[in-house]
Structure formats: structure tokens, C-alpha cells
Amino acid sequence: MSYRIEGATGAWEIVVGLEVHAQVISNAKLFSGASAAYGGEPNTHVSLIDAGFPGMLPVINEECVAQAVRTGLGLNAQIHLESRFDRKNYFYADLPQGYQISQFAHPIVGEGQVEIELGDGTTRHIGITRLHLEQDAGKSMHDQDPTRSYIDLNRAGVALMEIVSEPDIRSPEEAGAYLRKLRQILRYLGTCDGNMEEGSMRADVNVSVRKAGEPFRTRCEIKNVNSIRYVMQSIEIEAQRQVEIWEAGGTVDQETRLFDHARGETRSLRNKEDAHDYRYFPDPDLLPLVIERDWVDGLRAALPELPEAKRDRLEKEYQVSRYESGILTAEQAIADFYETVAKDRDPRLAANWMLGDFFGALNRTGRSIENSPVSAEALRELLALISDSTINGKIAKEVLEDMVETGDSPSVIVERKGLRQVTDTSAIEASIRAILDANSDKVTEYRSGKDKLFGFFVGQTMKAMKGKANPAMVNDLLKKLLSE
Amino acid sequence: MHDMTLAAARKALSERKISARELVDHHLSAIEKLDGEINSYIVTTPEKAREAAQAADAKLAKGEGGALCGIPLGIKDLFCTDGVQTTAASNILRQFVPPYESTVTHNLLRDDAVFLGKTNLDEFAMGSTNMTSAFGAVTNPWQRDGSSTKLVPGGSSGGSAAAVAAGLALGATGTDTGGSIRQPAAFCGIAGVKPTYGRCSRFGTIAFASSLDQAGPMARNLEDCAILLGSMAGFDPKDSTCVDRPVPRYEDALNRGVKGMRVGIPKEYRPDNLPAEIAALWDQGIAWLREAGAEPVETSLPHTKYGLPTYYIVALAEASSNLARYDGVRFGERVPADSLDALYEATRHAGFGEEVRRRILMGTYVLSSGYYDAYYLRAQKVRTLIQRDFLNAFENVDVILTPTAPSAAFAHNERPTDPVQVYLNDVFTVPASMAGVPALSLPAGLDHAGLPLGLQLIGRYFDEETLFAAGHVMEKAAGFAKRPALHAGNVA
């Protein structure tokens, strides 16, 4: 099911590569001790180093390096034991030093790959070209004053990982799947929170089109797209634009473009002629970054279980389906929740309840797993009540709703509401006999072959017993009494 | 007090023969009387100095106090000093008062030194003449016999050199990127040490060329330099290029002697046009060391001839980047304009002098895409060859002796109009900078006009001690005692 744009001259294939900027989770910035936390009053997380004061020097933050290495390991990528920081020189008001310290010629992480899964269940590998560390710039604020611009340097110097993919992506859907997968891995690793709304993950999208079998044509770069949906949209729109140009006999210029989602178009930001000459050279204030093999091995050993491995393990350990394992591992928190619920319980029952009623309740209340009104322990307890026949499944649904509402533990609710299942044979039998007596006509019909009425008797019995009867016992006893 | 060395003053202070307050007052009054002619200080801080001297006296009275307790120093105005104007001799930083202290000056203050003020320099330390300062040229306290023509003090630490030579400070800090401590020391008849790159922290020192800049001491003699360097040097976690190794007691190395020491005489440093009196002084230096028991050996530093051109590529590339931050947006002077680009242009045009602008442009050019490989990358490769030259040479010799500069100080109005001619002043000092090895200059004699000439000693990485030992031998033999025409002792 390959993605094609049908033009007047035939089908066009799209070629997409993504450069994702992922903000590193760390306490301090890449080269200064200032806080890297998001938000804060403007210019409150700024050291003299971040503001480029005379004589200030960068000193690398080891935790940021560790985060980059962890990410590289999570992307099955080569870790370079020696890397280097270059200066990328350009003038911009929110770039205090007049250059950005970035890894250019020798990045810390080399080639790797990510496996993505598409809607139809097929998988593809997207190559990673490199991951490098760099400083973020500050932010210009043009809307604070009618005549002046203000600058907030809170973000200046915060560590970013730029993760560059190979031009392996062939459809908007693949781009979306790739970004979701990347975000999932980063979040599992705890190296980036993947929050695109706050700008801690953003993408530059490189798009070109070609006829099948052709070499690459000119690409355009769409800068700073800040949601997965917009990335997918911008690819569609930009590819369509390029097809129209080529088909009209024109040429696509290599340029940087902006995606305007309100208008549904991409617009030229700057073209190659006034492209920056960044004048890269090795930053003389920093020595080459040399890390030890043992240190990397230590980080590798301490890595959390990653989505793929976790998925395989869940399928094996808990007999959940491929589909279920995908949902259960979408986020580490969900998987952790599930494993807590399923511990020493029937894992199938646990999966059914998690994916069914529990997720339903979360959706209904607009909560996420992190602030779920029902803890994993509580859900686990509910399953225990089902398994030991304290309550039946139907009653359990009622109990869960009460749990969502009150936050009470299931046993408290069962006791409070007197929902304990009735397993007393004589009580059930008495109830059945009463039903059969009251419906003697239907009993006659049943006995003359109208089997479907069995369900009616079950329903009536359950209703009479306020749903608390053990359904299996009701079945058995009904069969027995009807055949008398 | 006029001719007292730093070491002698320190002794007198600790014996309470003089007070720190007296010493500082003496220097402040000498500055007041003489510096109008020399212009070695951009700003003096008499109140702070007197306060510090008082504190020093209190410590001395209790027998406490650091290694420099009560010693008045001049601080090159490239070192950021907390609460004190720090200009780099540039209009762009004319009003800049940093809220922080450079590590080197912090170390000196830790040892209870007293700062008299900030000394003049070539703008952003770019120059060999001290004519490029936005605060006016510095005049060398020395004059040719029978002439009052104003001479340059050398650059870029020309203010520091002149202040020390004229008795306006007992010692001073300098920075050396391609010879900026050694060449002005030679021109002003004092001693100056460029330590190994990484020996002194660069934190808080306004950067010119980061891979070359190194702070060092300037004083009347090497003993004083040894005392000062001992205080300035040391590991600083705030500078990634600063090296974590213990600081030796350099003073202890002074009297080691040179018996058995092999002194390399690099043949490449004797070009055909080397002035005869410079060559003669060099031979004299060799003779002094031989007489003291060293063995002179011819050595070769084959890539010397590439030192200057590669230096001017590497240093200016780095400078163009380091000076980008002076854009009028955050600190320093801003020239308002209608657009951001226009603001940068106007600010940088008004803020930077001609020499700095020239160097920024050249540095920008050599880093431009398309030229990077031809200039910067190639220069870096040659730099490696120059480093290798020194490593090879030091397999056979312990120290290398050369002249410091190809001439004595020249007059303000004799400054070559061709900037390349000015750059040639650094021809002997630049290779050691490119390699990062330590080097010093000591006053070794006078030229035909009675002007001081210096000799340079170059050493192994972190082997400043051998430099002090060899230098001290030559210092004793030279017996350099003449004072410049403009001197505190002559106006008191």
C-alpha cells in the first residue's frame, strides 16, 4: 500500500527525511549550571555563560552526554567514543555568543535504526544517520512592545539532541509512525519528554518527490514543525506543491520553508542565495569529547527495557496478542501498570480489564494513566475478587465505576454495597424455583424445545438475585431443575 | 622604594620595614605623576587599592597573609575584575563593568595582592605596538639615548610592560596569544613569562584566540615572575582547557643552575636579515649559558617559517568568532538602528577599531565555506607540524634559546603602515604559541641607541621550571640594571 501522488504525468513517490530536535532531560544546561527547566519568568534561568558575557567559558555537563549516549543505544546506533564540538557562527539576536556550539563534523552518535509499524501491521526500518548534541538558542519575543523586541534566554544553552533520519520515509503515515516511535523510545529512555506543545521535540522536514526509480530530486526543508499531525500534513501539502511545479515544467528550488497550518500551505522562508554561511570550526574552548567504553557499557547495562523488547516479553509472559502488547507498551507507564495488575493474576483477565473497562473509564474521565483515579493495586484487587468468586464480572463493572468515582478500594465497595456474590446452592435454587413457578407457561414452552428461553430464565434469576448470583451455578442449577 | 623588586618588597613587608599602605601610596602617587606621559593605565582604582592595602597590613601585622600580601600590581584590562571597568581597550566595552572576577585575578586576590588599576593594551589584545587601544597609545618609558622621541612599548600587554618598567607597579598580568607578553617585555626591558597553554585559567579573560591565549606574569625579573606565576596558575574547573596538575614552587627552580643542560639553538631563527646586534646578543646569551655549564646544541624547527602565516589564520578565525558576541544586544555600547542587522553593523563599526575590524574580516574570510579547507584546515595541519617540531627538538634539548623580537622598540611614528610588517614583530614568539609550549623573555642587553633587547627561552610542556633556571643564569650574567628615562625614581 505505497503512497503515491497521482499527477498528470503519472504517479509520484515522495522522499522524506526528518531532523528531530529533542530537548534533553537534565537539571542543567549543556555548558552551564543554569536550570534547564521549561517555563519560568523570562531570563531567570540564565547564567553569564548562556548570555555570552566576556570571558565566559563552556564546560560540558556530563549528564547531557550520558543522555545522548543512552538515546544512541536506544536507537541501536553506533556510539562514538571521541566526538567534537564545533562552533556554528551566525548573528541572531537570540544567539548570545554569536555562535551555537554544535557537533558538526564528529557527532557523538552515528548510524542506527528505528523499526516502525504501520496501520496494516507491516513494519519498516528507518535509518538514523546521526545524533548530535547542540545548544538551543534563546527566544525573541516580538509581541511585548509595539516598537521593541524582547529576548528570553531561558532556553539558550539548553541541550538538544538533533536526530537525523535517512531519507527513508515514503509517506505521511510513515513519518507519523516514525515520530511516534522515536518519541516512545525517548520517553522510555527518559532522555526527552517528547512534549511537542512545549517545544521539547520539534522536527525539520525534508521533502522531495520523484518518479519511481529516479534518483533524488531537489528537496525543501520545512522548519520547526511542532506536532506529528502537522508534520504529516506539511509533507502532503509540500509534496503536492512540488509535483505541481515539476508537472508545470518548472524546477523546485532548494530552500527553507515554513508550514502555515491555518492556511494549509508551505511558504518560502529563505532560499539558498541568502542561506547562512555558518563558518563552522572546532570550538577552541572545548577539548574533544572522549568517553570510555566502560562508561558506555555501564549506561547500556542500566538502560530500561525498551518498547520492542517489552512487547515481545509481554506476549510471551502474559499471552497477550500482538495488538494488545502494542497498546500495553505504548507508554512505559501503561506497561508498568499492566504488569502490576497482572502479577499473580490471570494475565488474560488483566489485559481484558485494562484494555476494556479501565481504559474506557480513563477516556471517560479524561485522565491519563499517570493520574488515574484507580491505582494498579486497586485494579489488581478487583481482579482478585473476580477470581475468587467474591463477585462476578457484571458486578465487577459496577464496582469499577464506583472506584473511579470514589477512589475507594473494591473490597470496601463490595462490603458497603453488599455485592458479595451468592454461591449458596439452596439460595440460588430457591430463587430459581420461584422463577420457574411464576413462569410455568414458559417452562412448558422450553421443555417442548424452545431452547432460547434458557437465557430468559438466567436473566430472571440474576435479576431476582440483584446480579449477585454466581452465573455458573445459576446455569448448572437451571439446567438441572429444568430437566427434572 | 623605586627600584625595589617584588621579591624585595615582599620581604620588606613581611619584616614590617614598610607597610602595604606606604607601598601602595607610593605607586599611586608615581602613577599620578608619570602616567600622564606613559598612559599605561586605562583606569586606576586608588580607593580599592588603599582599602586592600589596609587589609593587607592587618594581615601582615598578625603574621598572616598570602604569598602576595600587600603587593601592588597592574592588571591588564583584558581580565574581568568584579565591579571594576573592564574594556579590552575597546570602545565597544568602554562602560562595561563585569559582575565577576577572572580566575587569574581571583587567585592573585586570594593571595592578598593589591590591584592598582587596569593597564592599557592593544584593542582586544590585537597588536604588537599598543597603538590600537581605544584609550590612546602607550608610550614606552624607554627613550633612545639623547632623544625624547616617543617609542612604542610593544603589544598587546604594552600597558602592563610600561607600568612595570616605569615603576608604576611591582608586577603586572599579561596575556600572550602570539607574543603579547614576551615582545612588550623585551621592548620595555622587563621579564615576562608565557606559561604552557592550560597552565593558567582563561575563565574571565576576554578572549582573543581561545586556543592560543594564555595569561602570564610580567615583572622586573624572573624571580618576581616566578612568584606571580605561582599565584596565577592552577587548575580551574570553569575552563575546560585548563590542566589539572599541581603548581610547582617556581621560585625554587631559579637557582637550579644549568649544568649539563642542553640548550637548543634553532637554525631557522637566524634569517639573513637578522640585525647584527640582535644576532650578537643571541650569541652572548649562548656564551652565558655555556659558561654556566650548559651545552649549546644546534637544533631545527623546520616549520618555523610557516608559523606567522598559520598563526594569522588560526588566531583571526577564532577572534572573528569570539568577538561576535559584541553586537550591541546585551552589554557594551549599542548604536540604535532601524533593523537588527543595521544595529549590528552600526554598533560593530563604531565599537571596533580599524585593526580589530581588519582581523575580524580576515578571520571571517578564512572560515567561509569554500575557503575553510584552503586556509583554516591547512593552518591547523601546519600547526600540528609546528607542535611536532618542538616535540622532536625537545627529545635532544632541554630548552631553546632565541631572540624575543627582531628589533628594539620603534617610535610611534615609525610604525610600518603595512600591517604585515607589524605582524613580523611576532616572528620569534609565535611558534611557541602555536605549539602551546612555555616561553619567557628576559632583558639581556641594550641596542646601539640604549634600548633594551630581550632573549627568549622556550621549554617543554609544563616545564616552566627549567625556563626559570636557565633564565635566571642569564639574568645574573647580563646584570641588566639600567632604568628607563621615564621612571618613578626620576620624578619622585
| Pairing assessment for the beta strands B399-403 and B452-459 based on DSSP bridges | antiparallel
Question: Nearest Cβ partner of A52 from B102, B202, B330?
Answer: B330
Minimal CA separation from B75 to chain A, in Å: 15
What pLDDT score was predicted for residue A477? Answer: 86
A425-438 and A471-482 helices, crossing angle to 10°: 50
Judging contacts by C-beta atoms under 8 Å, the chain B residues touching residue A278 are: 369
Q: Which amino acid is it at B107?
A: N
Render the burial of A248-269: b for 16+ CB within 10 Å, e for the rest: eeeebeebbbebeeeeeebeee
A96: contact with B, CB 8 A cutoff: yes
Stretch B457-469: mean pLDDT, rounded?
Answer: 98
What pLDDT score was predicted for residue A468? Answer: 79
DSSP letters of A331-400? SHHHHHHHHHHHTTS-HHHHHHHIIIIIHHHHHHHT--GGG-SS-HHHHHHHHHHHHTTSS-HHHHHHHH
Query: What percent of chain A clears pLDDT 90, i.e. is strictly above it?
Result: 69
Pair B245, B233: CB distance under 8 Å: no
Instruction: Say if the Cβ atoms of B367 and A89 lie within 8 Å.
Output: yes
Query: What percent of chain A clears pLDDT 70, i.e. is strictly above it?
Result: 99
DSSP B374: I
Residue B60, pLDDT above cutoff 60: yes
Minimal CA separation from B119 to chain A, in Å: 17
Give the mean pLDDT of chain A: 92
- pLDDT tens-digit profile of A320-339? 999 999 999 999 999 999 99
Residue B126 is part of which domain span? 6-260+397-490
For chain A, the C-alpha Rg in angstroms (whole number) is: 30
Closest CA to B218 of B252, B150, B168: B168
Closest CA to B138 of B124, B157, B117: B157
Pair A346, A383: CB distance under 8 Å: yes
Pair B119, B40: CB distance under 8 Å: yes
Distances (CA, A) of B386 to A342, A468, B308, B379: 68, 92, 11, 10
Residue A269, pLDDT above cutoff 80: yes
Minimal CA separation from A97 to chain B, in Å: 5
What pLDDT score was predicted for residue B346? Answer: 96
Grid cell at residue B122: 592593544
Stretch B369-384: mean pLDDT, rounded?
Answer: 95
A272: contact with B, CB 8 A cutoff: no
SS (H, E, C) B380-429: HHHHHHHHHHHHHHHHHCCEEEEECCCCCCCEHHHCCCCHHHHHHHHCCC
Grid cell at residue B332: 557594551
Instruction: Say if the Cβ atoms of B100 and A48 lie within 8 Å.
Output: yes
Residue A275, pLDDT above cutoff 60: no
Instruction: Say if the Cβ atoms of A57 and B341 lie within 8 Å.
Output: no
Distances (CA, A) of A157 to A101, A135, A136, A194: 9, 5, 5, 18
Residue A483, pLDDT above cutoff 90: no
Domain annotation covers residue B305: no
Please report the ipTM that was assigned to this predicted complex.
Answer: 0.95
Minimal CA separation from B212 to chain A, in Å: 9
Judging contacts by C-beta atoms under 8 Å, the chain B residues touching residue A280 are: 367, 372
Judging contacts by C-beta atoms under 8 Å, the chain A residues touching residue B207 are: 54-55, 285
Instruction: Say if the Cβ atoms of B321 and A58 lie within 8 Å.
Output: no
- pLDDT tens-digit profile of A381-428? 999 898 887 888 888 898 999 999 898 989 888 888 877 777 778 888
Pair B290, B470: CB distance under 8 Å: no
Pair A184, A330: CB distance under 8 Å: yes
Give the mean pLDDT of chain B: 96
How far apart are the C-alpha atoms of B224 and B230, rounded to whole Å? Answer: 10
For chain B, the C-alpha Rg in angstroms (whole number) is: 21
Stretch B205-227: mean pLDDT, rounded?
Answer: 98
Pair B338, B383: CB distance under 8 Å: no
Grid cell at residue A11: 504517479
Catalytic machinery residues of B: 76, 156, 180
Give the bridge partners for B267, in sequence order.
none
Instruction: Say if the Cβ atoms of B238 and A57 lie within 8 Å.
Output: yes
Question: Nearest Cβ partner of B203 from A55, A91, A93?
Answer: A55
What residue has cell string 565599537? B351
Domain annotation covers residue B380: no
- Show which residues on chain B lie within 8 Å of chain A, measured between beta carbons: 79-80, 86, 88, 93, 96, 98-100, 102, 202-207, 209-211, 237-241, 317-318, 320-321, 323-325, 327, 329-331, 340-341, 344, 364, 367-369, 372, 376
Domain annotation covers residue B27: yes
Residue B24's CATH number: 3.90.1300.10
B240: preceding bond cis by omega (within 30 degrees): no
pLDDT category of residue B331 using cuts at 50, 70 and 90: confident
What pLDDT score was predicted for residue B492? Answer: 58
Domain annotation covers residue B287: no
Instruction: Say if the Cβ atoms of A54 and B80 lie within 8 Å.
Output: yes
- pLDDT tens-digit profile of B19-32? 999 999 999 999 99
pTM: 0.90
Minimal CA separation from A243 to chain B, in Å: 32
Residue A152, pLDDT above cutoff 90: yes
A87: contact with B, CB 8 A cutoff: yes
Instruction: Say if the Cβ atoms of A151 and B329 lie within 8 Å.
Output: yes
Question: Counting every residue, how long is chain A?
Answer: 484
A60: contact with B, CB 8 A cutoff: yes
Judging contacts by C-beta atoms under 8 Å, the chain B residues touching residue A99 are: 321, 324
How far apart are the C-alpha atoms of A89 and A100, rounded to whole Å? Answer: 6
Looking at the structure of chain B, the number of domains it has is 1
Judging contacts by C-beta atoms under 8 Å, the chain A residues touching residue B102 are: 55
Q: What angle do CA B365, B363, B358 make, to 5 degrees?
A: 95
Domain annotation covers residue B188: yes
| Residue of chain B minimizing CA distance to A100 | B321
- pLDDT tens-digit profile of A5-59? 999 999 999 999 999 999 999 999 999 999 999 888 999 999 999 999 999 999 9
SS3 content of chain A, % helix, strand, coil (to 5): 40, 20, 40
Domain annotation covers residue B202: yes
Distances (CA, A) of B431 to A353, B228, B298, B386, B456: 76, 24, 17, 7, 12
Instruction: Say if the Cβ atoms of A55 and B318 lie within 8 Å.
Output: no
Mutate one of A32, A57, A65, A147 to test the B interface: name it (highest B CB count within 10 A): A57
Domains of chain A: 4-296 (no CATH), 305-417 (no CATH), 425-483 (1.10.10.410)
Mutate one of A56, A97, A149 to test the B interface: name it (highest B CB count within 10 A): A56
How far apart are the C-alpha atoms of B455 and B464, rounded to whole Å? Answer: 16
Stretch B58-68: mean pLDDT, rounded?
Answer: 96
Question: Nearest Cβ partner of A51 from B202, B330, B344?
Answer: B330
Query: What percent of chain B clears pLDDT 70, i.e. is strictly above it?
Result: 100
What pLDDT score was predicted for residue A478? Answer: 85
What pLDDT score was predicted for residue A444? Answer: 85
Grid cell at residue A121: 501491521
Stretch A136-153: mean pLDDT, rounded?
Answer: 91
Instruction: Say if the Cβ atoms of A284 and B340 lie within 8 Å.
Output: no
Mutate one of B96, B177, B240 to test the A interface: name it (highest A CB count within 10 A): B240
Judging contacts by C-beta atoms under 8 Å, the chain A residues touching residue B210 are: 284-285
pLDDT category of residue B170 using cuts at 50, 70 and 90: very high
User: Higher-confidence residue: B422 or A340?
Assistant: A340
Judging contacts by C-beta atoms under 8 Å, the chain A residues touching residue B240 are: 57-60, 285-287
Judging contacts by C-beta atoms under 8 Å, the chain B residues touching residue A55 are: 79-80, 98, 100, 102, 202-207
Q: Is B72 helix (H, G, I), strand (E, B) or coil?
A: strand
How far apart are the C-alpha atoms of B415 and B295, rounded to whole Å? Answer: 38
Domain annotation covers residue B365: no
Domain annotation covers residue B1: no
Judging contacts by C-beta atoms under 8 Å, the chain B residues touching residue A48 are: 99-100
CB burial class (10 A; 0-12, 13-18, 19+) of residue A18? Answer: buried
SS (H, E, C) A269-301: EEEHHHCCCCCCEECCCCCCEECCHHHHHHHHH
A284: contact with B, CB 8 A cutoff: yes
Could you tell me how many CB contacts below 8 A there are between chain A and chain B?
A: 100
